[in-house]
A and B are shown apart, each in its own frame.
Chain A
Amino acid sequence: MFFHIVLERNMQLHPRHFGRNLREHLVSKLMKDVEGTCSGRHGFVVAITGVDSIGKGLIRDGTGFVTFPVKYQCVVFRPFKGEIVEAVVSMVNKMGFFAEAGPVQIFVSNHLIPDDMEFQSGDMPNYTTSDGSVKIQKDSEVRLKIIGTRVDATEIVRT
């Protein structure tokens, strides 16, 4: 599920960026730092949509670095247990298949693939129903239900 939330972060800025463009530097650094990161709590930070406020900078002793508390809005993607997502299959093997839903990697174990679907190995490994009407192979789109998640490579299941 996607959320638009406000997060806060202490940014450290090198003194050489001090000047007119300080704000821009700060924002670009923030984007570099934050976008694409993943936290267990908020999920995957997709994009920063705006910076709400930049607090007063505090010069760090000894380094000259300045710490700014920055509040920013961002779009996060957080998969939940029980959530139904659509994903694109990226790899199929006999243990199940991998799918991707945006930044999230999903693994669907063959135990959770319906029983009537059989694994067919070969050049293009796939799972096919007995009547051949449905086939899951690389690049197919599947809808699945997440049964569990793990930060670092999110695990999920069910077609």
Chain B
Amino acid sequence: MPRRRDEEEDMDDDDYEEDQYDEEEEEENDRSTRKRRRSDFIDDVAEEDEEEEEEDDDDDEDYGGGGGGARRHKAKKRGSQFFDLEAQVDSDEEEEEEEGEDDFIVDGGADLPDEDDGRRMHRRPLLAREDEQEDVEALERRIQARYARSSPQEYDEETTDVEQQALLPSVRDPKLWMVKCAIGREREAAVCLMQKCIDKGPEMQIRSAVALDHLKNYIYVEADKEAHVKEACKGLRNIYSQKVMLVPIREMTDVLSVESKAIDLSRDTWVRMKIGNYKGDLAKVVDVDNVRQRVTVKLIPRIDLQALANKLEGREVAKKKPFVPPPRFMNVDEARELHIRVERRRDPMTGDYFENIGGMLFKDGFLYKTVSMKSISTQNIKPTFDELEKFRTPGENGENDIASLSTLFANRKKGHFMKGDAVIVIKGDLKNLKGWVEKVDEENVHIRPEMKGLPKTLAVNQKELCKYFEPGNHVKVVSGTQEGATGMVVKVEQHVLIILSDTTKEHIRVFADDVVESSEVTTGITKIGDYELHDLVLLDNNSFGVIIRVESEAFQVLKGVPDRPEVALVKLREIKCKLEKKSNVQDKNKNTVSAKDVVRILEGPCKGKQGPVEHIFRGILFIYDRHHLEHAGFICAKATSCAVVGGSRANGSRNGDAYSRFDNLRTPPRIPPQSPRRFPRGGPPVDYGGRNRGGRGRHDALIGATVKIRLGPYKGCKGRVLEVKGQSVRVELEAMMKVVTGNIISDNVDVSTPYRDPPRYGMGSETPMHPSRTPLHPYMTPMRDSGATPIHDGMRTPMRDRAWNPYTPMSPPRDNWEDGNPASWGTSPQYQPGSPPSRAYEAPTPGSGWANTPGGNYSEAGTPRDSSSAYANAPSPYLPSTPGGQPMTPNSASYLPGTPGGQPMTPGTGGLDAMSPVIGSDNEGPWFMPDILVNVRRSGEDSVGVIREVLPDGSCKVVLGSSGNGETITALPAEIEIVPPRKNDKIKIMGGAQRGATGKLIGVDGTDGIVKVDDTLDVKILDMVILAKLAQP
């Protein structure tokens, strides 16, 4: 035993070598290790130790002298290997009892090293004591002695892993049982158990009860057997011991281990205050006191000097300040002026001088405040540039700034670095080493250094790395306030990049960490609520303006003030509505200006600028000049100080606004009937009015159209559309001499006036036909351009400019015609030899670009783009000599008569569809294709139908009936099943290179079908899965 004491006092458990010299001790040593192992589960060890100590005192650290005593103990120890032998130990108890108190004072320090002991004491329940049924006083004393002694031991943190391992529970230890108890009574239950233990003493065979704060409804009980637990819980109201669950040994440690929230607070870290006046303020850590859990932070003070002066002088002190003073640097002179005492003191620790004002410490204008760690938040601090700027005082030089910037990266999210990222080391020996990320482990990033002569890869802690960009890189901002923006890096200032935004042409400052390299070109967010970038909006105070920038929560609006550019930051709720009204105004020369006309500004600050008019409101023009760098290129000018350049484009059927002039047209423009709201160029009507250029004109095609109202009080009335506004139209009724407003969707106005197709030049051979009565028309996607347009454009004037002209996605050419204004052809953009790049630049949306032009219809599937654009620039309007060509494909011809409404118009779209650039280039596209026969499963019943159209979302418009003359429904792909073709059936190929082709199934071979392709007369063997039965006429 003395040997063991020695060991303990030396604070060196591994000190075994010496022991080996001593023969006698060898054995002891052996024993002591055993004892340590055993000590885990022996309750009496504590007493033993105390006893040993006492002995030790006697021995006065004399090994030899303690020999006899050791023997005695040794024998006992061997016996007490098993934990239920407390009785033996207890014999020493009395003796120990007396001395224990002395130990309390004398030996407290000497005991320090026995850290096993300390732990044991914490773990041990009071059981051993209970055995003796001592009086409470004795118990109390002992407890006091024990815990008083153990407290200093806490300082000893030098435990080795091995030791820790030895403490882990093993199979021989008591088990931990999970017992259900009343919710919210966990602690109570545990206390009850304790009380019961005290009361009942040894009868209770459980060893401990634990209630965890974070665990509701359960407590843990330590006991050897389940029966013990049940026994102990018997009669306790709060505990439901029907079900006692054993905690697996492996998980036992987890139950009682405390997740340490490792707050890695170091100096120069940015934090935010959580409470008080400074709540939300950025602060910089200047000192950390881990022991007291306090942090000294540097803040920009929010101090009302006047109030402070009042307070210090004992004048009336406002109870509650109505407002939080704005952050401002402390100015000592100002304070002195207010007769506030400013003491200048030197901090004894750092040697820095602080100004002490009313108990607060200031330095360089900053407030130094010591707060509890709990009152600051350290995670995900993303200081904005403004905040950082403020923190940068003249006193601080640049270097300091970098250091603090680098700490910004301390808490970034996982997966920050990706393979291939260019990075730079910002800390440590390898500082400024550039490299590329090769592999990312948890914390470490393996980089391939740029420098030669270094190992292939280096592992660097991710906190020491920062992304690296070079000027000229095109990047995308992925986090922070500018999230979503893209641009080109024009300057790199350490970890801050200056990016030239693609869209706004403005410089953005971002952290290198927030961006990724990308070739994408976006604006960031362009829409909040219903309002989109470049919309004209009416504001609360009846002023109006154009949205020139969309920020995270607000819009920047260029107000409609002509003399000087006035930009307001407007919240969503401050916007009253979007202005979609189209109006014309007169310019200086009394010429009419409408939207999209190019005007030149003749007066005012922006004199000389020129550009297309984007919006007109109350005589104010909003002009877009892409060379104008401010305000996203928008200029606001009075109409009377501008002049139209080169004649109004509106005349050239430039866009929908033109229609306002042609309101008197007799013939309505051709519009897709049945669902007039479905206009080809794109998304749902809600989007209408989005991007001016793209959206404009969609509904305008409706203006002037004669419609029939299908629902509501005016049901059945016919009239002419005067105006389209959002979802509603204003209709001038024929019968009532009245103008009513109706909703496009609910009223479902329907074009009903039959009209002749006017003769047109070069169309001799063309079958006169009604345009687009078939349901095929309301295409909503680019497919329409490719698929459906041949019908209009192909057969009529394929050269019609609408496709080429980004401004007039929809303008029906006929208007030019009937207007008797062939001159407009002259101005129509197909003749504009403008250089394509600029045109591409103008094309606002992909949908209206030239890629999806009708020209594509004529193209081979293989070269859709080329040829379409080629076609675009064709010198003269081509007129197909055949009526559209599509009918040549047998399938379409065959299905002509089946078209509801009888318009022999739509054929072939299916056939051509396949060739269209959209589908042709994408074999993975929608599986279903028009014109195929399908089974539609709906509400439990199957019905045969013919797909007329595949909508962009994958659902299909299906005309019921095997010949396609029933009702039209829209079915989801899941509801549709292809009708497998049989031998000699006409089929359509739905996949592979031949997708879209039609043919005849001349035989079936297992899962393969033998197909004779109509076009080439080739015989192919194709998978049956991709063959669908073609609708028969």
Interface residues of A (CB under 8 A from B): 9-12, 14-16, 28-29, 32-33, 36-38, 44, 60-65, 67, 81, 91, 93, 95, 98, 103, 107, 109, 111-112, 146-148, 150, 152-153, 155, 157
Distance in angstroms between the alpha carbons of A77 and B490 in the assembled complex: 23
Contacts of A95 in B (CB 8 A): 505-507, 629
Distance in angstroms between the alpha carbons of A91 and B627 in the assembled complex: 8
Distance in angstroms between the alpha carbons of A95 and B653 in the assembled complex: 38
- B992 to chain A minimum Cβ distance, whole angstroms, is 19
Q: Are B837 and A38 in contact (CB under 8 A)?
A: yes
Inter-chain pairs besides A36-B836, A95-B505, A150-B488, 17 sampled, C-beta below 8 Å = A10-B870, A12-B858, A12-B870, A14-B874, A61-B885, A62-B882, A62-B884, A62-B889, A62-B908, A63-B858, A63-B882, A64-B881, A103-B835, A103-B837, A109-B490, A111-B491, A112-B490
**5 intermolecular pairs with C-beta atoms under 8 Å apart:** A12-B859, A33-B873, A109-B490, A109-B498, A147-B471
Q: Are A61 and B837 in contact (CB under 8 A)?
A: no
Q: Are A109 and B841 in contact (CB under 8 A)?
A: no
Please, which residue of chain A has its CB at the minimum distance from the CB of B836? A37
Q: Does B276 contact A (CB under 8 A)?
A: no
Q: Are A148 and B841 in contact (CB under 8 A)?
A: no
Q: Are B474 and A10 in contact (CB under 8 A)?
A: no
Distance in angstroms between the alpha carbons of A71 and B173 in the assembled complex: 88
Q: Does B1003 contact A (CB under 8 A)?
A: no
Mark the stretch among B306-314, B691-699, B861-869 that contacts chain A.
Answer: B861-869
Q: Using a CB-CB cutoff of 8 Å, which residues 836-854 of chain B contact chain A?
A: 836-837, 840-841
Q: Using a CB-CB cutoff of 8 Å, which residues 460-479 of chain B contact chain A?
A: 471-474
Distance in angstroms between the alpha carbons of A109 and B488 in the assembled complex: 10
Q: Does B1015 contact A (CB under 8 A)?
A: yes
Q: Are A10 and B863 in contact (CB under 8 A)?
A: yes
Contacts of A148 in B (CB 8 A): 471-474, 488-489
Q: Are A33 and B870 in contact (CB under 8 A)?
A: yes
Q: Are B507 and A111 in contact (CB under 8 A)?
A: yes
- A103 to chain B minimum Cβ distance, whole angstroms, is 7
Q: Are B471 and A67 in contact (CB under 8 A)?
A: no
Q: Which residue of B836, B860, B866 contacts A60 across the interface (Cβ within 8 Å)? A: B860
Q: Using a CB-CB cutoff of 8 Å, which residues 439-467 of chain B contact chain A?
A: none
Q: Sorted from nearest, which 7 A-B pairs have the closest CB atoms? A: A62-B885, A148-B472, A147-B472, A111-B491, A109-B490, A36-B835, A14-B878
Q: Are B870 and A9 in contact (CB under 8 A)?
A: yes
Distance in angstroms between the alpha carbons of A32 and B804 in the assembled complex: 15
Q: Does B871 contact A (CB under 8 A)?
A: yes
- B904 to chain A minimum Cβ distance, whole angstroms, is 16
Q: Are B858 and A61 in contact (CB under 8 A)?
A: no
Q: Are B840 and A28 in contact (CB under 8 A)?
A: no
- B504 to chain A minimum Cβ distance, whole angstroms, is 10
Please, which residue of chain B has its CB at the minimum distance from the CB of A105? B837
Distance in angstroms between the alpha carbons of A25 and B500 in the assembled complex: 44
Q: Are B835 and A153 in contact (CB under 8 A)?
A: no
Q: Are A10 and B867 in contact (CB under 8 A)?
A: yes
Please, which residue of chain B has its CB at the minimum distance from the CB of A62? B885
Contacts of A62 in B (CB 8 A): 882, 884-886, 888-889, 908, 911-912
Q: Does B875 contact A (CB under 8 A)?
A: yes
Q: Are B835 and A64 in contact (CB under 8 A)?
A: no
Distance in angstroms between the alpha carbons of A32 and B874 in the assembled complex: 8
Q: Using a CB-CB cutoff of 8 Å, which residues 692-731 of chain B contact chain A?
A: none
Please, which residue of chain B has its CB at the minimum distance from the CB of A82? B472
Distance in angstroms between the alpha carbons of A99 and B939 in the assembled complex: 66
Q: Which residue of A63, A152, A157 contacts B837 across the interface (Cβ within 8 Å)? A: A152
Contacts of A37 in B (CB 8 A): 835-837
Contacts of A98 in B (CB 8 A): 627
Q: Are A9 and B841 in contact (CB under 8 A)?
A: no
Q: Does B169 contact A (CB under 8 A)?
A: no
- A104 to chain B minimum Cβ distance, whole angstroms, is 10
Q: Are B841 and A152 in contact (CB under 8 A)?
A: yes
Please, which residue of chain B has its CB at the minimum distance from the CB of A37? B836
- A63 to chain B minimum Cβ distance, whole angstroms, is 5
Q: Are A32 and B875 in contact (CB under 8 A)?
A: yes
Most chain B CB within 10 A, of A38, A44, A111, A157, is at A111
Q: Are A153 and B491 in contact (CB under 8 A)?
A: no
Q: Are B869 and A33 in contact (CB under 8 A)?
A: yes
Contacts of B857 in A (CB 8 A): 63
Distance in angstroms between the alpha carbons of A64 and B794 in the assembled complex: 12
Distance in angstroms between the alpha carbons of A32 and B884 in the assembled complex: 26
- A90 to chain B minimum Cβ distance, whole angstroms, is 8
Please, which residue of chain B has its CB at the minimum distance from the CB of A149? B472
Distance in angstroms between the alpha carbons of A61 and B858 in the assembled complex: 9
Q: Using a CB-CB cutoff of 8 Å, which residues 59-98 of chain B contact chain A?
A: none
Distance in angstroms between the alpha carbons of A56 and B682 in the assembled complex: 38
Distance in angstroms between the alpha carbons of A95 and B627 in the assembled complex: 12
Contacts of A152 in B (CB 8 A): 837, 840-841
Q: Are B498 and A153 in contact (CB under 8 A)?
A: no
Please, which residue of chain B has its CB at the minimum distance from the CB of A9? B866
Q: Are B888 and A44 in contact (CB under 8 A)?
A: no
Given A10-B866, A62-B908, the answer on whether A112 and B880 have CB atoms closer than 8 Å is no
Q: Are B874 and A29 in contact (CB under 8 A)?
A: yes
Q: Are B629 and A93 in contact (CB under 8 A)?
A: yes
Most chain A CB within 10 A, of B837, B880, B1015, is at B837
Q: Are B491 and A109 in contact (CB under 8 A)?
A: yes
Distance in angstroms between the alpha carbons of A153 and B874 in the assembled complex: 25
- B372 to chain A minimum Cβ distance, whole angstroms, is 43
- A61 to chain B minimum Cβ distance, whole angstroms, is 6
Q: Are B860 and A10 in contact (CB under 8 A)?
A: yes
Distance in angstroms between the alpha carbons of A91 and B633 in the assembled complex: 14
Contacts of B521 in A (CB 8 A): 150
- B618 to chain A minimum Cβ distance, whole angstroms, is 29
Q: Are A32 and B882 in contact (CB under 8 A)?
A: no
Given A62-B888, A64-B881, A103-B835, the answer on whether A155 and B488 have CB atoms closer than 8 Å is yes
Q: Which residue of A33, A64, A112, A153 contacts B885 across the interface (Cβ within 8 Å)? A: A64
Contacts of B836 in A (CB 8 A): 36-38
Q: Are B488 and A28 in contact (CB under 8 A)?
A: no
- B498 to chain A minimum Cβ distance, whole angstroms, is 5
Distance in angstroms between the alpha carbons of A103 and B841 in the assembled complex: 14
Interface string of B510-534 (1 = CB under 8 A from A): 0000000000010000000000000
Please, which residue of chain A has its CB at the minimum distance from the CB of B500? A109
Q: Are A61 and B471 in contact (CB under 8 A)?
A: no
Most chain B CB within 10 A, of A16, A62, A107, is at A62
Q: Are B875 and A29 in contact (CB under 8 A)?
A: yes
Q: Are B867 and A67 in contact (CB under 8 A)?
A: yes
Contacts of B498 in A (CB 8 A): 109, 111
- A85 to chain B minimum Cβ distance, whole angstroms, is 14
Please, which residue of chain B has its CB at the minimum distance from the CB of A25? B875
Contacts of B886 in A (CB 8 A): 62
Q: Which residue of A67, A93, A111 contacts B860 across the interface (Cβ within 8 Å)? A: A67
Q: Are A107 and B870 in contact (CB under 8 A)?
A: no
Q: Are B629 and A12 in contact (CB under 8 A)?
A: no
Distance in angstroms between the alpha carbons of A67 and B881 in the assembled complex: 17
Q: Which residue of B491, B881, B1015 contacts A15 across the interface (Cβ within 8 Å)? A: B881
Please, which residue of chain A has its CB at the minimum distance from the CB of B627? A91
Contacts of B627 in A (CB 8 A): 91, 98
Contacts of B875 in A (CB 8 A): 28-29, 32
Distance in angstroms between the alpha carbons of A98 and B629 in the assembled complex: 11
Q: Are A60 and B858 in contact (CB under 8 A)?
A: yes
Contacts of A67 in B (CB 8 A): 860, 863, 867
Contacts of A63 in B (CB 8 A): 794, 857-858, 880, 882, 885
Please, which residue of chain B has its CB at the minimum distance from the CB of A67? B860
Please, which residue of chain B has its CB at the minimum distance from the CB of A11? B870
Distance in angstroms between the alpha carbons of A91 and B491 in the assembled complex: 21
Distance in angstroms between the alpha carbons of A116 and B912 in the assembled complex: 62
- A142 to chain B minimum Cβ distance, whole angstroms, is 16
Q: Using a CB-CB cutoff of 8 Å, which residues 579-611 of chain B contact chain A?
A: none
Distance in angstroms between the alpha carbons of A15 and B869 in the assembled complex: 18
- B363 to chain A minimum Cβ distance, whole angstroms, is 33
Distance in angstroms between the alpha carbons of A1 and B506 in the assembled complex: 28
Distance in angstroms between the alpha carbons of A67 and B471 in the assembled complex: 44
Contacts of B841 in A (CB 8 A): 152-153
